[in-house]
Amino acid sequence: MSGAALAIAGSLEPEPALDRLDLVAAPVADALRALPADTAVTCLVAAIDPELADTAAFCEAYGSPLDASANCVVVAGSRSGERRFAACVVLATTRADVNTVVRKRLDVRKASFAPMDEAVELTGMAHGGITPFGLPAGWPVLVDPAVLAAPAVVVGSGRRESKLLVPGAVLGELPGAEALEGLAR
């Protein structure tokens, strides 16, 4: 395990994600398998209590720093009857600027968080576990530059029963990933 991942692991016991694909949602497993081998080996997964999947509870229970957790939210908007989606990834100590930055990027009149049942259905991931890995093809994955610069971050695994620990730069290599200045406030 890298020093950066060790520093954010707290009391977690991370394992190579490719060795424990049973801990992640199916679309996440597919995304991990699709990564270049030298990138995939940097991705770790750790089992957690699903009751502690929400960021604040997770960080407190496992001793993982809040500023090393990255949240992924699904945002939706419409333009001329076309529904548009994006995933936004920001550090847990910040919030995504949905009303200005994301709305402009999606080129919609109004953007808001997608209803949870819709986000779960479209991603094939669990509520509280949505991650930038394995999102639907064509969705932009908008990533705050601070996340990309982080030596390691904790993100969801698509399931509430585990978390991924990955170098921040890996998120910039995912399909549809875009660094978006001003995304986080």
**Residue 42 falls inside a structural domain:** yes
Amino acid of residue 183: L
**Residue 176 falls inside a structural domain:** no
Domain holding 157: CATH number? 3.90.960.10
**Residue 53 falls inside a structural domain:** yes
Rounded CA-CA distance 11/8 in Å is 9
Going through the chain in order, the beta strands assigned E by DSSP cover 15-16, 44-47, 70-79, 82-91, 111-113, 141-143, 153-156, 162-166, 177-179
**Residue 182 falls inside a structural domain:** no
**Residue 181 falls inside a structural domain:** no
**Residue 183 falls inside a structural domain:** no
CA distances to 29, 76, 123, 144, 166 from 32, in Å: 5, 25, 15, 21, 11
**How many structural domains are present in the chain?**
1
Among residues 92, 74, 62, 110, the alpha carbon closest in space to that of 153 is found at: 92
| Domain boundaries, position 155 | 3-169
Q: Is residue 24 a contact partner of residue 15, using CB atoms and an 8 Å limit?
A: no
**Residue 36 falls inside a structural domain:** yes
**Residue 29 falls inside a structural domain:** yes
pLDDT tens string, the chain, 185 residues long: the values are 566 766 778 889 999 999 999 999 999 999 999 999 999 999 999 999 999 999 999 999 999 999 999 999 999 999 888 899 999 999 999 999 999 999 999 999 999 999 999 999 999 999 989 999 999 999 999 999 999 999 999 999 999 999 999 999 999 999 999 999 999 99
